[in-house]
Amino acid sequence: MTHPIQLIAYADRLGGTIPALGEVLRDRFAGAFGGVHILPFFTPFDGADAGFDPDDHTTVDPRLGTWDDVRALSDDLDVMVDVIVNHVSARSPQFRDVIQNGDQSPYAQMFLTMGTVFPEGATEADLLRIYRPRPGLPFTPYPWGESTRLVWTTFTAAQVDIDVRSAAGSAYLISILDALRDAGTRMIRLDAVGYAVKTPGTSSFMTPETFAFIDELTALAHERGLEVLVEVHSFYRRQIEIAQRVDRVYDFALPPLVLFAAATGDHAPLARWIAERPENAVTVLDTHDGIGIVDVGPDPATGEPGLLDAGQLGALVEAIHDATGGQSRAATGAAASNLDIYQVNSTFCDAMRRDDRAYLAARAVQLFVPGIHQIYYVGALAGTNDMDLLERTGVGRDINRHHYSDADLERDLERPVVAALLDLCRFRSDAPGFDGVFQSRLDDDGWLQMRWESASGWSELRARLDQGQAELRWARADGLEHATADLLEIPPTDA
């Protein structure tokens, strides 16, 4: 990956098609992004889980484009695509064949059932030990030829889990890797891989068997020239462990720690994490999912302290609900379907109280942290909670999945905060020092200081997220020092 900043976007919700998304990146966002993570565009992109339940993971939904359109994007952009490892749609041809023919289907071994994992039966303790991101047990009864089986469904009844250790499951995943390689994809995101291997007597989440599978799948991806990003929400030390074994891991601890600093003025947990975090991370403040909470809390399995304690975590959740005027509460947990037990649903802009300067200060912190930086399309446009979409669908995460019309896009590009954020991205791409050594510290006055320095020069950020203040200073090796104390007005780096 050659460029530090990528846009995360649904093609149908920004631009409308894959070629149109490319036009937005190259024209309206010119110079701000060098890559794009296209959220699921497979057949169909508008299923039960916004594309994360594909019927056919190896075809592009013709309403959005073709594999040639994906290749065209990769001509001058780093393209990342999801590999949905854990499951496939219950509507898929393979699972429909199993429903019709049961064990006589050539795909019968591709799908997991309770009996597959627990051939001798399971005790209450066995079932309660299974870690699931949503309440309840991960089984759904489905016809299986002339009988009925309890099919493993980690997420929803519409998403049936693959036996990744079976020959059919392995062949299915390899066919996806081949399709993405042929389309010029440079990086893949292993979606929900932490749940992919079920092992009796364990939580079936990020177990040693899971790590072994990640190693094997990563090796297959590398054979095809694909770099691997692992997507796992879990205890922060587990993320550090994962980072040692893969190309990239998400820094899901950064968003809640930034929000905690903004809400309380206490930047110490954030400063501690910046010093500890793996540098081969992909940084985000927002994604197509909610704002992760489990990533900074105590380990639910062992009780080991997290980056925030239980009291701080509870205060953070309430602070987000307060900042959004209760909108996030209406979209989170039991208040909305498709609920997650470890996330709060809101746009990041709303979680920052729609304060433009505070929002830009948070983005500046993100862009100064080492790693590859991703900005979600709603965040790139400083979008606010879409309560109308939430009301129509009842899906909590839709509060942060707005469908942008051309008029919406043109309107938001005229907003000063959006123009400033795009300028901040251009600054991060062009400013001196970012090819060198990174340092950070918390000064005696509570300001977070971050600095990059190399033979090309240096760039420095000072931020107080609770006050919405940020100061940028930079100088090229052979030039004068420049500075701005207002991120709404960032001069060119060579000014």
Residues 466, 422, single domain; the answer is: no
* 489 belongs to a structural domain: no
* Residue 394 shares a structural domain with residue 296: yes
Average pLDDT on 39-44 reads 96
Whether residue 492 is contained in a domain is answered as no
Asked if the structure places residue 311 within a domain, the reply is yes
Q: Which helix H or strand E contains 178, and what residues bound it?
A: helix 167-182
Check residue 238 and give its pLDDT.
85
- Check whether residue 417 and residue 278 sit in a common domain: yes
* Whether residue 194 is found in the same domain as residue 228: yes
Predicted confidence (pLDDT) per residue in 414-429, tens digit: 999 999 999 999 999 9
Residue 246 has pLDDT above 90, yes or no: no
Q: Is 191 labeled as catalytic in the residue annotation?
A: yes
Let me know whether 265 and 413 are in one domain.
yes
**Residue showing tokens 């600054």:** 427
Which residue in the list 78, 191, 356, 412 is annotated as catalytic?
191
Q: What is the largest CA-CA distance in the chain?
A: 78
Asked, for residue 495, whether it belongs to a domain, the answer is: no
Spatial CB neighbours of 29, under 8 Å, sequence gap ≥ 6: 7, 380, 422
The position carrying tokens 């994360």 is 52
19 is in which domain, residue-wise?
5-85+165-430
Is the model's pLDDT at 493 over the cut of 80? no
Give me the helices (H) in 83-123, please: 93-101, 114-117
Q: Reduced to 3 states, what is the DSSP secondary structure of residue 195?
A: helix
Mean confidence (pLDDT) of the chain: 94
What is the residue whose two structure tokens read 């930079």? 474
pLDDT at position 241: 87
Residues 6+ apart with CB under 8 A from 202: 129, 209
pLDDT at position 1, please?
Answer: 39
105 and 62 within one domain? no
Q: Residue 384's pLDDT is what?
A: 98
Q: What is the CATH number of the domain that holds 361?
A: 3.20.20.80
| pTM for the full predicted model | 0.94
Taking 90 as the threshold, does the pLDDT of residue 44 lie above it? Answer: yes
First to last CA, the chain: 28
* Final residue belonging to a domain, choices 136, 161, 186: 161
On whether both 262 and 311 belong to a single domain, the answer is yes
- Is 215 a catalytic site residue? no
Q: Are strands 35-38 and 5-9 parallel, antiparallel or unpaired?
A: parallel
What pLDDT does 339 receive?
A: 42
pLDDT digits (tens, 9 = 90+) for 345-370: 999 999 999 999 999 999 999 999 99
One of 78, 161, 231, 386 is an active-site residue; which one? Answer: 231
- Residue 2 in this model has a pLDDT that exceeds 70: no
Same domain, 361 and 233: yes
Q: Are 173 and 245 part of one and the same domain?
A: yes
* Same domain? 241 vs 317: yes
| pLDDT of amino acid 334 | 63
* Distance (Å, whole) CA 294 – CA 289: 13
Q: Which of 161, 184, 206 is the last residue of a domain?
A: 161
Is the domain of 324 the same as that of 353?
Answer: yes
275 and 204 housed in the same domain: yes
- Name residue 475's amino acid: A
Q: Using CB atoms within 10 A of its CB, is residue 345 exposed (0-12), middle (13-18) or buried (19+)?
A: buried
In this prediction, residue 336 carries a pLDDT of 52
* Residue 178 to residue 175: CA distance in whole angstroms: 5
- 218, part of any domain: yes
- Model confidence at 49: pLDDT above 90: no
**Count of structural domains within the chain:** 3
When pLDDT is averaged across residues 19-47 and rounded to a whole number, the result is 96
201: left (phi over 0), alpha (psi -120 to 50) or beta: left
Residue 490 lies in a domain: no
Of 142, 161, 180, at which residue does a domain stop? Answer: 161
Backbone angles phi, psi at 208, to 5 degrees: -55, -35
Q: Would you say residue 493 lies in a domain?
A: no
Q: Is the pLDDT of residue 490 over 90?
A: no
| Nearest of 96, 232, 115, 229 to residue 163 by alpha carbon | 115
